[in-house]
Amino acid sequence: MDRVDQGWSYEDLADPARGWLGTERGLDPVDQFATTHAGRRLALTWRRRSDRKIVRREGAVGLFNADVLDDPSLAAEPLVVCQTEADALALAAAGIVRVVGLNDDRATVPRAERADSFWSWLAPIRDLARQGVNPILAFHDSPTGWSLREAVAKQIGRAKCRWLNLHGAPSPEAMVLAGRIEELAQAVREADWISVRGVYGLDELPRVDERPALDPGLGDLGKHCRLRTGDLMVVTGIPGHGKTLFLNNLLAAMHRRHGWRSCFCSPEQHPWLDHRRALLRLHAQLPHDRLSEAQMAAGEAWMREAFCWMVAGLDDTPDIAWFLEMAETAAVRFGAKAIVLDPWNELVHRRAAHELGDEYANEALRRIRVLARELDVLVIIAAHPRKQDADPDTGDYPVPALYDVSGAAAWKNKPDLGVVVHRYPRATLLRVEKTRYEDVHGRPGDLEVHVDPQSGRYARVATLTTVS
């Protein structure tokens, strides 16, 4: 087959001894291809030369030139699977000797033939793939070819398949007829992997901008708890010990220092009657009932810039799906950088009949983490711990931990940041229990907080101990 410098024609490979190719002359010649294996003819296919459409086929669907698969002398050669017999002959003309073609390349096959019996011709290719051979799929650059390539790759396993880039030609046969034989051989040598979404080399990784971890500017808190979009943060503590006050101070500080806007989903508080009053007090540093009209107007102007709220209507079911949809709306339409759910237990949690509580929590937090990364927002969840028993002698409650949150160990394992808020008579303890990356988020440790009773502002935040 030393025809490289002359190009290729049907007559060159119409070898009667092999019985591969015959031609029926006429106004539109029809080429006849014989599918044989081990010396036995399995099928005959007639294709119009003008458009390569099958006009007649006898016998089983199979692989043209399949004998090369059993030849041990070709084990080191690339294996190319073609859409048609003519494509296989074209690649053979380009010096690709381990090549097979499909004798029925119809993309729309009757549903009954889409059963396993239709794909039985792929069995030897699957066997070779299991042995470490990575077949190259040389299918036409057309909707039919794309569809068939996807179906074949799925049958073999996408991770094991490469594909032939035809560089604008409709088929390997057309490349050879156009005199592009060496280019076709080069394309085989450079065949690339079929993409599999989810696994990437470094240069293929989806690029994202660096997300800096930001110091909120509340005393020593930034040494232990720096905030970054794309992360999940969990805040826990006994009800009434100041989780919401902590979140108000934290996100107000993030707006002052970094311009962040935050969205609150706070079903336990009425946004206008309760949360607005607390934030006005924080901004003006005076109790709500002592604010002048000017101070109230200034506080409301600040809140318009710094916050927005999720509020479920009477016809809404505020479950995880609802929360995720509202979070996306807050990020896209309001530019929110932090999304707060306070508290977790106020959502409607509906588990499947077979689903355990820890399975539900693990999957829900996974979905929230994915959302945080896709939207480039920080999601903060306030979650109550299980009921704590007070010390019978002192009446004090123990400091809860992330593992004490009702539901699952996922509350400790999933978040990037985990904070415990615990109030004592004279001060509040902030325990930064978890930071996923100490060089990014800060080092875990305990902080003592003194709250200004008039404004609710964190007046002093100082490190007590650092966890090494």
* Ranges 188-192, 206-210, 366-370: which has the least confidence: 206-210
- The answer for residues whose C-beta is within 8 angstroms of residue 71's C-beta and 6 or more apart is 98
- With left for phi above 0 and alpha for psi between -120 and 50, is residue 279 left, alpha or beta? alpha
- For CATH 3.40.1360.10, the residue range(s) in the chain are 10-193
- What is the spatial distance between Cα 79 and Cα 159, in angstroms, rounded to a whole number? 16
pLDDT of res. 418: 97
- For CATH 3.40.50.300, the residue range(s) in the chain are 221-466
- Full-prediction pTM beyond 0.95? no
Q: Residues of the chain with pLDDT > 90: what percent? A: 58
- What is the spatial distance between Cα 296 and Cα 424, in angstroms, rounded to a whole number? 32
Q: How do residues 115-145 score in pLDDT, each as one tens digit? A: 566 788 889 999 999 999 999 999 999 888 8
What's the CATH class of domain 10-193? alpha beta
To the nearest whole number, what is the mean pLDDT of the chain? 87
**CATH number, domain 221-466, options 3.40.50.2300, 3.30.1280.10, 3.40.50.740, 3.40.50.300:** 3.40.50.300
Q: Over 70: is that where the pLDDT of 22 sits? A: no
Q: How do residues 281-331 score in pLDDT, each as one tens digit? A: 999 999 888 999 999 999 999 999 999 999 999 899 999 999 999 999 999
Q: Over 60: is that where the pLDDT of 367 sits? A: yes
Half-sphere exposure for 46 (CA within 13 Å, toward CB): 10
Count the helices and strands in the chain (H runs, E runs).
14, 19
The β-bridge partners of 150 are none
- Between residues 10 and 262, which one has the greater pLDDT? 262
Q: How do residues 305-315 score in pLDDT, each as one tens digit? A: 999 999 999 89
Q: How do residues 47-89 score in pLDDT, each as one tens digit? A: 887 777 888 888 888 888 888 898 899 999 999 999 988 899 8
